[in-house]
Amino acid sequence: GTATGYSAIHMTRAMDPKTDQLITLELSQGLVQRARENFKKAGVQDLVTLLQGDCREILKEISGPFDLIFMDIDKQYYREVLPLCHKLLSQNGLLITDNTAFSDALDFDQAVYQDKGWRSVNLLCFLPQHSPEKDGICLAMKA
């Protein structure tokens, strides 16, 4: 989800404001408000479309294709939305999934690795003074 908009704000820094658009999803009304405030403070509100709701439903309703999807939702839903992300991505589009070293992301890790529709790698990292210290990110390209 969007949470406070931190990741989305940084992604806009790599976008071409003339051609690119960022769509972000968040379930919590309180976080939607905070993210909108942060987008405005960062001056990126015109580059970001923030949709409130359950991503498992919104991903069925929006249309792609997208070149990039960054997924950072409740890990228990990663596996469930994987086919929806595949459908929305352009050929060779990239799915970046955060926190994939967590045990509740294991079924997602196995599914994306075994699915011939993806070419994926899981990058594990050690982050001293971060909680948790061990984390990971999955980069999966639509094959």
State pLDDT tens for residues 45-61: 999 999 999 999 999 99
Does residue 124 belong to any structural domain of this protein?
yes
Number of domains in the chain: 2
Q: What is the pTM of this model?
A: 0.91
Backbone phi and psi for residue 133, each to the nearest 5 degrees, phi listed first: -75, -30
Give Cα separations from 108 to 39, 55, 104, 115 (angstroms): 30, 16, 8, 10
82 and 25 part of one domain: no
Q: How far apart are CA 30 and CA 49, in angstroms?
A: 16
pLDDT at 25 exceeding the cut of 90? yes
pLDDT at 96 exceeding the cut of 90? yes
Structure-token pair, residue 44: 């990126």
Does residue 58 belong to any structural domain of this protein?
no
113 and 69 part of one domain: yes
The pLDDT, as a whole number, for residue 130 is 72
Least confident range from 68-72, 104-108, 117-121: namely: 104-108
Taking residues 74-90, what's their average pLDDT? 97
Q: How far apart are CA 103 and CA 55, in angstroms?
A: 21
69 and 131 part of one domain: yes
- Range of the structural domain that residue 108 is part of: 64-143
Does residue 59 belong to any structural domain of this protein?
no
